[in-house]
């Protein structure tokens, strides 16, 4: 696993952690149980069902001709894969194929109007139109569950009116996006702690702040990553868009600020990722862990990062840890989403249904690890945009492509 760095102290930490959490294992499932609407003890079994459906979906997708079918989406609770079918005459061929014969009971072919080829062509044309109108704060995604391209934008803003008039030609679904969850601009009121001998810890979801002379910005910590022997915290690149360099980041904990280091490396064009370097002089410690308050129960939950997960199916669960809204789970709605801004169009994003507000930018997005779901999770990416329950995720694989490795247990 070339993208993974195993920390030597891991086993010791793990042992202590298992002892400590033996009694509260069940509450570790609380955020996902809430999303699925099931009792906590049903979660492990549903995760196995989900894993199985993902495996089948991965075998199924290459069998579907994109001009006859309009994408698939998993329904974990129903234990089915829904298949948008434009040409009904192709159903039997897929059902009776060598690869699908034994999985027929999991397949649900549904009548649909739009093939994936059509949707993809519409998607690309809408992105071009968004660029032409210099649209900002928008999400454009192919969503199998509604078998259409869905656009999220401020429908009331005057500057979007012309775009909406033009884009209606493609008959997309247009949904309102109230305010894109950018960085949270806060007042400078905290105390800067420089010399005191304490070692505060950065977890996935911790509050990170940076300042200019006139403003402070707060974002969330994503994941601990390494490159060339140096330690970094992955967060959203746009967190420093209002801050002149060097944007030095601090961990804010109980109103105290602990220096981490600068976000020198960032990208806001193709990706929205920023890497905060932990300086040798910094007293903070990084952990390959998510720790935060469960949004519903207000319980403090902790998980170890065991690996990473590449999202290939819609309908499956994801969870996030952000400093404002804590831990919550939801589902992947699109594996083919984009946002168009004046600095460029970011593609290869996921549209997720996850509660988020300003300040949650950079949140760790993860999935429960199938082998030990009560303690381990797999990194998926970071939250970069959205509002309310509409979220956009930049996949962690883009950070791997930039040469960073994920630190895991």
Ligand X SMILES: *[C@@H]1O[C@H](CO)[C@@H](O)[C@H](O)[C@H]1NC(C)=O
Contacts with ligand X, residue ranges (CB under 6 A): 66, 111-113, 116-117, 120, 124, 147, 188, 190, 192, 211, 257
Q: In sequence order, which residues have a C-beta less than 8 Å from that of residue 386 and are 6 or more positions away?
A: 139, 177, 180, 181, 352, 354, 356, 392
Q: Which is nearer to ligand X, 32 or 112 (CB)?
A: 112
Strand order in the sheet with 69-75: 69-75, 80-85, 107-111
Q: Which is nearer to ligand X, 46 or 243 (CB)?
A: 243
Helix (H, G, I), strand (E, B), or coil: what is residue 381?
Answer: strand
- Rounded Cα distance between 272 and 270, Å, is 7
What is the nearest approach in angstroms of ligand X to the Cβ of residue 112?
5
Q: Which is nearer to ligand X, 236 or 335 (CB)?
A: 335
In 237-359, DSSP assigns E strands to 248-253, 256-267, 273-277, 285-293, 300-308, 317-322, 326-341, 344-356
Alpha helices in 168-218 (DSSP H): none
What is the nearest approach in angstroms of ligand X to the Cβ of residue 121?
7
What is the nearest approach in angstroms of ligand X to the Cβ of residue 113?
4
Residue 343 CA from chain centroid, whole number = 21
Tokens, residue 279? 């300086």
Q: Which is nearer to ligand X, 128 or 161 (CB)?
A: 128
Q: Which is nearer to ligand X, 27 or 131 (CB)?
A: 131
With CA atoms as reference, report the closest residue to 36 among 350, 373, 364: 373
- Rounded Cα distance between 168 and 120, Å, is 16
Q: Which is nearer to ligand X, 117 or 291 (CB)?
A: 117
Contact 254, 242 (CB under 8 A): no
| CA distance between the termini of the chain | 13
CA distances to 10, 24, 117, 136, 380 from 289, rounded to whole Å, are: 11, 17, 40, 34, 14
Q: Which is nearer to ligand X, 33 or 130 (CB)?
A: 130
What is the nearest approach in angstroms of ligand X to the Cβ of residue 254?
14
Q: In sequence order, which residues have a C-beta less than 8 Å from that of residue 344 and are 6 or more positions away?
A: 268, 269, 270
Q: Which is nearer to ligand X, 27 or 190 (CB)?
A: 190
What is the nearest approach in angstroms of ligand X to the Cβ of residue 257?
5
What is the nearest approach in angstroms of ligand X to the Cβ of residue 301?
29
What is the nearest approach in angstroms of ligand X to the Cβ of residue 67?
9
Q: Which is nearer to ligand X, 148 or 308 (CB)?
A: 148
Return the bridge partners of 265, or none.
Answer: 275
- Rounded Cα distance between 99 and 375, Å, is 34
What is the nearest approach in angstroms of ligand X to the Cβ of residue 63?
14
What is the nearest approach in angstroms of ligand X to the Cβ of residue 369?
29
CA distances to 67, 98, 182 from 347, rounded to whole Å, are: 22, 34, 18
Q: Which is nearer to ligand X, 211 or 376 (CB)?
A: 211
| Cα within 13 Å of Cα(391), Cβ side | 33
What is the nearest approach in angstroms of ligand X to the Cβ of residue 147?
6
């Amino acid at each position: 696993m070339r993208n993974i760095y195993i920390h030597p102290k891991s086993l010791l930490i793990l042992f202590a952690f298992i002892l400590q959490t033996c009694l509260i294992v069940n509450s570790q499932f609380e955020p996902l149980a809430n999303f699925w609407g099931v009792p906590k003890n049903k979660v492990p079994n549903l995760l196995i069902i989900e894993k199985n459906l993902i495996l089948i979906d991965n075998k199924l997708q290459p069998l579907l001709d994109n001009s006859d079918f309009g994408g698939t989406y998993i329904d974990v609770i129903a234990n089915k894969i829904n298949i948008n079918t434009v040409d009904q005459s192709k159903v039997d061929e897929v059902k009776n194929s060598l690869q699908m014969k034994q999985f027929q009971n999991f397949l649900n072919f549904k009548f649909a109007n739009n093939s994936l080829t059509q949707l993809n062509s519409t998607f690309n044309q809408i992105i071009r139109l968004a660029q032409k109108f210099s649209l900002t704060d928008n999400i454009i995604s192919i969503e199998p569950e509604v078998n259409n391209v869905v656009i999220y934008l401020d429908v009331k803003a005057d500057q979007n009116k012309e775009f909406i008039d033009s884009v209606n030609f493609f008959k997309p679904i247009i949904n309102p996006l109230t305010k894109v969850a950018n960085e949270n601009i806060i007042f400078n009121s905290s105390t800067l702690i420089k010399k005191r001998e304490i070692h505060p810890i950065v977890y996935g979801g911790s509050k990170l702040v940076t300042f200019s002379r006139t403003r402070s910005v707060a974002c969330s910590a994503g994941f601990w990553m390494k490159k060339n022997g140096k330690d970094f915290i992955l967060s959203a690149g746009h967190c420093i868009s209002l801050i002149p360099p060097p944007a030095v980041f601090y961990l804010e904990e109980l109103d105290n600020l602990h220096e981490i280091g600068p976000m020198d490396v960032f990208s806001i064009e193709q990706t929205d990722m920023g890497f905060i370097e932990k300086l040798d002089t910094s007293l903070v410690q990084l952990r390959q862990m998510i720790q935060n308050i469960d949004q519903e129960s207000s319980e403090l939950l902790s998980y170890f990062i065991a690996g990473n997960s590449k999202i290939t199916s819609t309908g499956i669960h994801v969870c996030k840890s952000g400093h404002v809204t804590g831990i919550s789970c939801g589902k992947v709605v699109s594996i083919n989403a984009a946002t168009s801004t004046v600095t460029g169009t970011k593609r290869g994003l996921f549209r997720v249904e996850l509660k988020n507000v300003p300040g949650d930018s950079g949140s760790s997005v993860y999935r429960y690890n199938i082998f030990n779901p009560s303690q381990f999770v797999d990194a998926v990416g970071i939250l970069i945009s959205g509002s309310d329950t509409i979220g956009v995720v930049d996949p962690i694989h883009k950070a791997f492509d930039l040469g960073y490795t994920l630190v895991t247990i």
